[in-house]
């Protein structure tokens, strides 16, 4: 088989693996909390947020900025975890793919 044919076959196989991993990442979730569990954020490993749960006892209008900070901290933590998992899984798929003449 010519090297172009091998390369095309390898690229097709990698594309299928990438699609499989992307589907898995869309279904995989991580959770992060802040404020001692007052705020819980669930993120999908495709980079989207799945849910935000807030303990009703924390909903004091006088402390709105504190609650906002807790939501932001939990969301950022969950998204960072999700991104790390996604990058690791995608790296497994693409690690052996070499394009001749490419860096």
Asked whether residue 102 is assigned to any structural domain, the reply reads no
Domain membership flag for residue 99 = no
Domain presence at residue 100: no
47: in domain: yes
Query: CA 76 → CA 1, 15, 68, distances in Å?
Result: 48, 29, 12
In a domain, 101, yes or no: no
Q: Chain-wide mean pLDDT for the chain?
A: 87
- Report how far apart, in Å, the C-alpha atoms of 61 and of each of 7, 40, 65, 74 are: 60, 19, 9, 20
Report yes or no on 27 lying in a domain.
yes
What residue numbers bound the domain in which 56 lies? Answer: 3-94
For the residues 21-27, what does the mean pLDDT come to?
88
- The pLDDT value recorded for residue 55 is 93
DSSP type of residue 58: G
How many domains is the chain built from?
1
CATH number for the domain harbouring residue 80? 3.30.1310.10
Element (H, E) at 90: helix 64-94
Question: Is the pTM value of this prediction over 0.75?
Answer: no
pLDDT tens digits for range 42-90: 999 988 999 999 999 888 888 889 999 999 999 999 999 999 999 898 8
């Amino acid at each position: 088989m010519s090297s172009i044919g091998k390369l095309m076959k390898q690229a097709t196989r990698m594309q299928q693996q990438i699609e499989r991993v992307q589907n898995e990442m869309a279904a995989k979730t991580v959770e992060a909390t802040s404020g001692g569990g007052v705020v819980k954020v669930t993120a999908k490993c495709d980079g989207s947020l799945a849910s935000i749960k807030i303990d009703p006892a924390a909903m004091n209008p006088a402390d709105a900025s504190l609650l906002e900070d807790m939501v932001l901290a939990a969301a950022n933590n969950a998204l960072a975890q999700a991104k790390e998992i996604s990058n690791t899984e995608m790296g497994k798929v693409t690690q052996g793919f070499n394009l001749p003449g490419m860096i």
